[in-house]
Homo-oligomer: A and B are copies of this chain.
Amino acid sequence: MEPSFGWRHLVEIGLAEDIGHGDITTRAVLGESDPAAVGRIVAREPLVVSGLEVAEYVFQRVDPALRVTLLSADGGALGAGDPLLEVEGSSRSILAGERVALNFLGHLSGIATHTRRFVEALAGTGARIVDTRKTTPGYRYLEKAAVCHGGGHNHRFNLSDGILIKDNHIEAVGGVREAVVAAEANRPHHLVNIEVEVDSLEQLEEALASGAGVIMLDNMPPSMLRAAVARAGGRALLEASGGVRIETVREIAETGVDLISAGSLIHGARWVDIGLDLL
């Protein structure tokens, strides 16, 4: 992963909320004894890995003396029983970080695994699957990285790194053309690729005529998407959007659209099962 500074803070909060004022069970049962141990984090079902660097940081933050070895890579596909990473050192420190490390890995690998299914469903079509801004607050960067680990692509990260004209903008200025023209006149020079959302073929025509670079086709059935592809004739990138599911994604891709955006890559994913074995 590229450097990003936000997620380290989630590790701090996560550890604080899980450890509280200490593991009273271990203290009561084991007293001060703290033998050296090796913990291995293992997939308990087939999955695509995401979050290794975060898990590594969790253990380092709990105890800088722990030694972590990565046994897989973000984006790798593992089978049940395959190891993700190994951590060696104080058994108490390993247990103190275990739950938080697994929670990050289960959540992020769940997204990567879910995305991989969409990617496989699109194999051989020309369409890319992309995410949306529907992410768990605080996790924008990590969840979008998990989509990439799954083989998907990222849409805008936030409101300032892309122009996407939505229905409320169109309504406010009186039409698709007016909105695109205004955006074109006022956009930052390096953001040439104006995207506009349309919900009818009429609006599509207007958007094409206005010179929009990407056109989001909102909640259109496959037949209508197919008609849109025909009309556009390559003049703009077309993005299908709205209620995309794993069962329907291939049919949508086969209409010839360039992009399919699906919030459910992230918000429809369940965690995958990952555990820690003490060796």
| Nearest-Cβ distance from residue A84 to partner chain B, whole angstroms | 17
Chain B residues, Cβ within 8 Å of A15: 3, 5
What string of 1s and 0s marks CB contacts (under 8 Å) between A1-25 and chain B?
A: 1111110011111111111111111
A237 in the interface (beta carbon within 8 A): yes
Q: Name the contact of A190 in the complex, choosing from B16, B21, B160, B193 (C-beta under 8 A).
A: B193
Q: Are B259 and A189 in contact (CB under 8 A)?
A: yes
Q: Are A5 and B12 in contact (CB under 8 A)?
A: yes
Q: Are A25 and B270 in contact (CB under 8 A)?
A: no
Bound together, the chains give a CA A32 to CA B62 distance in angstroms of: 29
A255 in the interface (beta carbon within 8 A): no
| Nearest-Cβ distance from residue A265 to partner chain B, whole angstroms | 12
* Stretch in A118-126, A131-139, A203-211, A221-229 touching the partner: A131-139
A106 in the interface (beta carbon within 8 A): yes
Q: Are A10 and B138 in contact (CB under 8 A)?
A: yes
Q: Name the contact of A24 in the complex, choosing from B92, B106, B188 (C-beta under 8 A).
A: B188
A96 in the interface (beta carbon within 8 A): yes
Chain B residues, Cβ within 8 Å of A42: none
Q: Are A23 and B191 in contact (CB under 8 A)?
A: no
| Nearest-Cβ distance from residue A194 to partner chain B, whole angstroms | 9
Bound together, the chains give a CA A194 to CA B136 distance in angstroms of: 30
16 residue pairs from A and B, CB less than 8 Å apart: A2-B27, A3-B22, A3-B62, A19-B158, A21-B144, A21-B160, A25-B165, A26-B159, A29-B169, A29-B173, A29-B182, A30-B172, A103-B136, A103-B137, A136-B136, A163-B190
